Each structure stands twice: as C-alpha cells, then as structure tokens.
Amino acid sequence: MSDPLILLCSNEWDTKWPTLIANHLLALGLGREHVRLATADEAGRLTAEGLRGVESARLAILLVSPDFLASRAMMKEALPRLVIRANVKVTRGQTGDTEFLPVILKDCPWGLLPETVTVQVSRELQQPLEKRDLREAYRAMAYIARRAVGHLVHIGAMPSELAWSALPESQLMLGNFRHALVAAESVEREILLHQLGVAWMEPGTRVVNLVGELGVGKSSLVAHFLALLSREAWRGAERLFCWSFDEQQRAGGHHSADEFCFALRQFLSDVEDAPEAWWETGARLARLLQEERTLLVIDGLDHLLRADEHGTARIADDALLMLLRKLLHAHNGLCIVISKQPLADLAPWEGEGLSTIQVDRVAKPDSRELLAKLRYPVTSSEIDDAAAAASGHFIAARLIAACRAARGSFPATLKRHAQRLTSIPLDQLIDGLLQELLEAWNQPAITELLSLLACADQPLEVTTIENLLGHLRRDFQANSDVSAEQQPWGATLVQLDGTKLRAILAQLRGAGIVAHPATQLVVLQRVAREAFLRRQAPLESSRGAQLHRWLAEELQLQKSDGPITPPRIATLLRAMQHRTEAGDYHSAWHESFLAALWQQEDVLKLETVRDFCYRAGALELLIDPTTQLPRAGLSASDQWRVAQLHRHALRSAGRFSEAIATTTRHLERAKLPSDEQGGNLELVPHLLIELAQQLLLAGRVKDATCRVNELVALPDLAKQKQLFRDAVMLTARVLHLKGKFAEAIERYKLAMSIPRESSHLLGAEHWHVEAVFDSGNFPLAEKTAWREIDDVAPHDFAIAAGYRFVLGRLYLALRAHSGDWRYREEARKHVQQAGTLARKTGLLEMILPAQLAQAAVYRSEDHHPQAAQLLADVTMLSERFGLKHLSLDCSLEKLLLLLASGATVEVYEQLTPLKQKMTELLYGRPVRELRLIEGKFVVGKVAGSSAAAATPPSSSTSSPSTS
C-alpha cells in the first residue's frame, strides 16, 4: 500500500465530516490511496495506519474539537511528530517536510494547539463547521480541498493538471459525486465528449440522458467533461451542482430524491418553507435553476426507476420527475442524467429539449492507459492480460487491478470471472467473486465488491453470507469493546442499504443461521436511519446520531450470539402513545415501526402503526415494512392484517395498478377452501369492498360493477351491518358516477341510516353530499355538508377534506351563477382547507382533486396562467397514476379555462371527443360542467337523428348566459 499524501486527523466517533472532506478531495483528482484517516485504537493509541500517515503525509488536515484536544493519540503522538517534521527544514529557510491545515469542527479552545499549528488557522476556517448551514459547510469543504490540492501541486507531489480553474466556492457544489474531475485522455470517447460539448452550447438541448450498462464509464465520462469545461472557464456556466444516487445509497440513504432536493434547495439559497406537495418542490427547483445558467449533473438515477406494466423505466419519485419535465420546457443551462436505461417519462421530448446519448464499451481499449487511470500498482508484465480480460469494461478492470494489488499475482480464476463479466450482468457474478475473495481474505477487492453490491439488484447467496459473517463475527469478537460501525468490516457492511441488509438477515433466519448481535445492530441502525430520512430533513446529522444512540441504549445489546429483540416493547409503546398525543407523529412512527418490526409475535401493533402513519400523512411508509416483514410463523389473522396494511400503503402512494393486482391476488387466495393455504371465506367480502373502491378510483366502472354485484350476491350479507352498509355505498357510488343521481341518493340515504363503526371505504362519507350537489340541489348540499363537518373527529382528515372539497365546488358554482364575489372568497377558503387536510391524509386520491379545485379557484379569479400551470401538473399526475375519471375532470376544467380566455373554437373542437371518451368510461357525473360548457355557444340538433349537426361559433362571439 502506497504512503498517503494527506492525513485527516480526527477523534470524532461520527465520521461524517472526515468522509465529506475526503469526498471533496477525491473529486479534485486525488486517489483513495492518497488520503488516510488517523484515528485511535481501543487503547487510545494511534493505529498502525495512522502512524504510517504521520510519517509520510505531506499535509495534515486537523479537525479540531474538544474530543480532539482531549485525545492522547492526537495531542501526545500525532501532533508532536508532525510538528517535528514541519520544523525540519524551516530553520534553513526552506519549506517544511509537512504542512498543517487546521479546521475548527466544534467550539473549543483551539489556542491550546502548538504555535506551529495555530498560526495557520485561516480566517475562512475559524467558524466551526458544525455551526454552518449546509451551503456554507460545503463552501468551506471546497475551500479545504482546493487549498490541499494546491499545496500538493505547489510542492510537486501531484501533477499540475489537478490545479483546474473552478467556479467560486459559492457557485460550486460537487455534493456526493466522488469521481475525480481529471481530464485524462479517454479511449474512443472523443465523439461522446464532443456530443456533450454541443449539448452544452446548443440552446435547444436542455437535458442529456447518458445511457449505458453498469460499469462502462458513464460517470467517468461526465467527470472528464467537467474537467475539460473547467480548463475553459466553464464556457459560460455560472453554477455547477452534482449529485450521485449511487453514493446516496451506499451511505444508507433511501430510494427517494428527498435528500437531493434538500441539498439543491440549500445550494440555491431557497429560504422559503418546503412545499407540502412533491410536485411543487420540483417546480420550485426548476424556477430557481432558471435564475442563472446552471450545469446540473444527476448520477445513478436507476435507484429511483421502476418498471411499468410494459417493462419500460419510469421515474418513481415525482418531485424529480416534475423537475426534469420543467427543465425540458425551459432551462438556460444543461442537466446531465446518467442511467442504465432510457427514461420513458422523458421520451416524448426527444429532439425537442432531450438528447439521449448511448455509452458503449470501449471497442479497442488502450490497455495501459485504461488501467493506469485506476491508480493501482499493476506491473507491465501482466497489464496486457488484465486489460484483455477487462475488454473495455471499467468495473471489470477495477476489480482485476484491486485483486492484483492485494494478492501479488493475477489469479487465473479471477481472470476467468472477469472474462465472463464482459458477457453477462455483474449481478450474477458478485456471489462467485466474493466467495473466492473471502477464501483468500482479500480485503481491498472485497471492499470494492461490497461497494458495487450497493448498486446490484440481486441478494447474496446464503452460503456467501455465512462465510462473510463468519469473518465479521471473528472481528467483532476479537474487538468486543468497539462498536460495530467502528470496525473496518462493520463500516464496509454499512455501505449496503437497510433493505438489502434486512433481506440478507431474512435469508439467514430462513437457513437457520444466526448472525452476530453486533451485525444485527448495524441493520437496526440502518433501518432507523432510512425511516428517519423519509420524514425529516436528510442532512440533520445531529438528529440521526441521537436516534442511533437511543437505539443502542434501548436495545441493551448483549455480547453473545443470538437474535436481538427489543426487551422493553411496553416502554416503547407507552412513549409512542404519549408523544402521539402531544402531536409528535415522527417519533411515534420510529418507535412503533421498530417495535412492530422486531417483535414479530406481536403483529397486532402494526395496526397501531397504521393509525399513527395515517395521522401523520405517511401511509406510503408502510410499503417496505409490510413487504419485508417475514411471514413465517405468523397466524392467519396476523398475515391478513399485514397484507391489508400493504394494500393501503400502495393505494396511498398512488400505485393503484399494483394495489388492484395485489388485492385481486389476495381475493383469489381467500376464495380457496379453508383447508388449503391462504383460504379464508370470511375475508372475501372485505376484499371485494377494497377491490371495488380501487377499481372506481382507477375509472374502471365496468369491472367495479362486476365486483359490487359479486359482493351483493354473497349470502347473509344483510346480517352483517357494516359490510351491508359498505356494499350499499358502493352500489350508490357506481350509480353516482354513471350520472343516475336520484337512484344514487336513495341508496346513499339507506347506507347513511346505518351507524358507521368500522369501514374499508376510506373517506367515502362525502359521496352523499357530492351526489346531492351534482344533482343541482345546492341548498340541501350546503346544509348537509355543514352539518356533517361539525360531527367529524379531529383526526379524520380524509372525511373533513371531502366535505370541504364539496363546499368549495358548491361556492364556485354559486359564484358562476350569481356573480357574487363573496361566494368566491368562501370557495377559496374551503378549497385551501381541503388541500391542507388532503395533504395530511397522504392519500393521492384526495390531494389531486383538491389541486384541481384550486385551479378552478384561479380561473374564477382570472389568474389564468397559474390555473393553466396547476392544471397541467394535475393532468400529468392523474394520467401517470391511471386516475381516468380525474383526468376527464381535468379536461373539462381545461375547456372552462379556454372559454374564460375566449378560445371558443378550441372548446368546440375538443368537446365531442371528450364526450365520447366519457361515454366509453361510463362517466356521467359531471353533467353540470358539460351543460355550462355547451351553454356558451349554440349547438344545432337534428331531431330524431343520432347524428348532431352543429355550427362552430367564432371566438369573437359573445357568450350567452349559462344554463
């Protein structure tokens, strides 16, 4: 192992700041072997690697804190030796053998440091990093990295190519993009670099999608392009922001863009409160990026992709999708997106703002150059064999070089694996490679493989996991006084995300293998951090560290083999209850989630979890837990409760097609005879009710009618009051959507006469008032809605939102008929309240109609641009999630907006196809809106004929009164 050039001296148990500073150094072209972290061992003395760094490093970055000043390893061992080296040549008027770069991490009396160090504390680094906001902290770390690399270049320790000209620190944020920005000549990449350069200078290209298989060098290509731009003063770029979802997952982040959006908002100095709706977040970020010409790089987007029913890649995070779509419409910079598959969501803009560039393997690789860039000590005698095995595949070359560096010779078996790697996916080879490397205990290559495992799609085989955990267990037992994350292999294992760790442990339990408690603690910490990242600002590390410490205290880890179960579940649930009563749903979510997940015999607590997640508007958080929770050993009733929570979570997230497929599968299983696995005829009516409502939400009225008829035909249904009530409500809803209001109202009255105790119809109580309003009886609808609102419980957000939504529509209609401005004020108030309550539910089926009503309010206030923008967003989301009836409502609102703008001809051209589509979908509910639109112009009808003749009015014709 080569000697390091930079030594990071820190005594913090949390390696956040050393890791971030190291990432900035790597981004400026330094290799991993050039940067080393000096820490103390369990005896409080400097480790062997730390001593080697003290003797050889040319620059020492000191992260000064109270713990640093109290550390014997730092103050008594590392600093005296570094000071001696720094003063060796100073007496002769020359530069010292090493230099210091002190960084104040936390408030402390840093004047206690030796004078050789204190005189070098720069003004920029005197303010503690812990007290800075995110953007200021990144600016400071960029300054540290720039000074460090500049010093190494000045003394000749690094090539001058690393001294690339950069944007000001305030306008540069590399984020977690760890690829070195070095413009080393690439093999057969000139054409791709030229395409990127043309895209940057071409105003019509706003988003570039780099597509290629895993490991062909897409990220390295972008790093090369950025380095070339830096040599040319960035060719007019005013800001640069880079983000890698690969690194986010390796650091334990969740598969969402929350952390990315949070960091980008900080970088853009967005001081306003975060929008409550995710599409508003994407739209606001796009507007802020428009202010200056910005180069935005998004790497590793595959972690946020999921395949639709056709197998095409769709972006699962809607905030990021909205951001990219807005950039495609208007962006004076360039956004580079790196993925393994083309983005189907953006495909319609190909050639009109989007440019997709395919990155293939290097056809004729320059062997020596390809492996030399990896900075591994491969000798010239074996470089040809290694490069031939890599065959232009960057990851294969990196694995080969790592194995060569660690074992001293190029093994034939690894060469064979690497040759296979060129023809089949990497996921299928990870297990074989890791098994072989474990036998030889090849630490550098295992570290490389485990880092790649965070990007892989397949879990490890149980035999490989057992072998790996065997080595881990020996390490943990040999150092039982040191926590898991402070162990070298514990830190490596933590690179994997919590979902994969849970899957690994589930495989172990299924095979009868018991993991060491310290390993399970790492899993618990990762699970808790994922839950924390979902609902809280991701970079608030103090809260995350507090949660980790709380876990360590509550679990009371035992130093013996055996699975961990929380010994104080009752205490946790009591604390959860108290915090929930105080309105702290976030803490309640953490504690109840952990309690239910790890105390599997008490799955009934999951219903409590569901209640609190519903109150916090976070039902979608139950998708992963209910999927990953092992079902072995659970009773049939407990398995039913877990499955029900999973279906509710899918519906809350807007994944209606998955919810319908899952409910249908559960229904068919429940219909099996009771002696067969999964059969339970008592569950059939409950599943039919859920399935019918899901089908109605998706606009599949015919299928929903079949399910309702099947429900009504069940024997003894009338004897079960709540099931009978839900069945009558669904029958009325079908009639309501078909436009048969009188029949629907009669059935609604019958259902409402039965007291409501428990129901599977989430938020369905407002259907009755909605039917009364649609029938035109405005006074009765208003009176009924106000009476029902008074009886709604404070935490029933969905019910209250439904009634507020109906009142908002009602007052908008009264405003259109009477022209009284007071109705408009009432409509605005109720629509805003409906939107707030809908966001609290977290149910997409409530949020989008509230947004549509807000667009109608904008239209009534003559704010046509805002209405059109919001309407376009709701239309896109309703089509994306398959809400067909809502999509038709959006089309009707669009026609009303066109009429308000005077575009009568366009309305006439679009009305007939829209009515035909409504007929096909059996959607007759919006009769009032259709009459309002048709009343704006004269439509001639031929009596007794199926065809209607009409004369399109001119757009200049004045509008007659509404019907």
User: What is the Cα–Cα distance from 584 to 787, expressed in whole angstroms?
Assistant: 30
295 versus 624: the higher-pLDDT residue is: 295
Q: What is the mean pLDDT of residues 604-610?
A: 52
pLDDT, mean over the chain: 69
Residue 413's pLDDT is 52
Residue 323's pLDDT is 92
Q: What is the pLDDT of residues 806-836, one digit of tens each?
A: 888 888 888 877 777 678 888 888 888 888 8
For the cut 50, the answer to whether the pLDDT of residue 479 exceeds it is: no
Q: What is the pLDDT of residues 265-298, one digit of tens each?
A: 888 887 677 666 667 788 889 989 988 889 999 9
413 versus 210: the higher-pLDDT residue is: 210
Q: Angle 14-17-84 (CA atoms, 0-180°, nearest 5)?
A: 100
| Confidence band, pLDDT 50/70/90 cuts, at residue 338 | very high
For the cut 50, the answer to whether the pLDDT of residue 577 exceeds it is: no
Token duo for residue 935 = 């009343």
Name which of 136-145, 327-336, 358-367 the model is least confident about.
358-367
| Confidence band, pLDDT 50/70/90 cuts, at residue 488 | very low
Strands 207-211 and 334-339: parallel
User: What is the Cα–Cα distance from 636 to 680, expressed in whole angstroms?
Assistant: 9
Residues of the chain with CATH 3.40.50.300: 169-358
Q: What is the mean pLDDT of residues 626-652?
A: 66
According to CATH, the topology of domain 169-358 is Rossmann fold (3.40.50)
Q: What is the mean pLDDT of residues 76-101?
A: 70
* Contact of 647 with 666, CB cutoff 8 Å: yes
91 versus 66: the higher-pLDDT residue is: 66
* Contact of 67 with 11, CB cutoff 8 Å: yes
CATH placement of domain 6-162 = 3.40.50
Q: What is the pLDDT of residues 416-430, one digit of tens each?
A: 555 555 444 444 455
Residue 244's pLDDT is 84
Residue 25's pLDDT is 78
547 versus 256: the higher-pLDDT residue is: 256
User: What is the Cα–Cα distance from 441 to 255, expressed in whole angstroms?
Assistant: 32
For the cut 50, the answer to whether the pLDDT of residue 454 exceeds it is: no
User: What is the Cα–Cα distance from 260 to 264, expressed in whole angstroms?
Assistant: 6
Instruction: Say if pTM beats, i.e. exceeds, 0.85.
Output: no
User: What is the Cα–Cα distance from 131 to 439, expressed in whole angstroms?
Assistant: 46
Q: What is the pLDDT of residues 871-922, one digit of tens each?
A: 887 887 788 778 888 888 888 888 888 888 877 778 878 888 888 888 888 8
Residue 555's pLDDT is 39
Residue 483's pLDDT is 44
Alpha helices in 683-740 (DSSP H): 684-697, 701-712, 721-737
Q: What is the pLDDT of residues 913-954, one digit of tens each?
A: 888 888 888 888 787 777 777 766 544 333 333 333 333 433
Strands (E), 523-596: none
For residues 490-523, b (16+ Cβ closer than 10 Å) or e, as one string? bebbbbbbbbbbbbbbebbeeeeeebbbbbbbbb
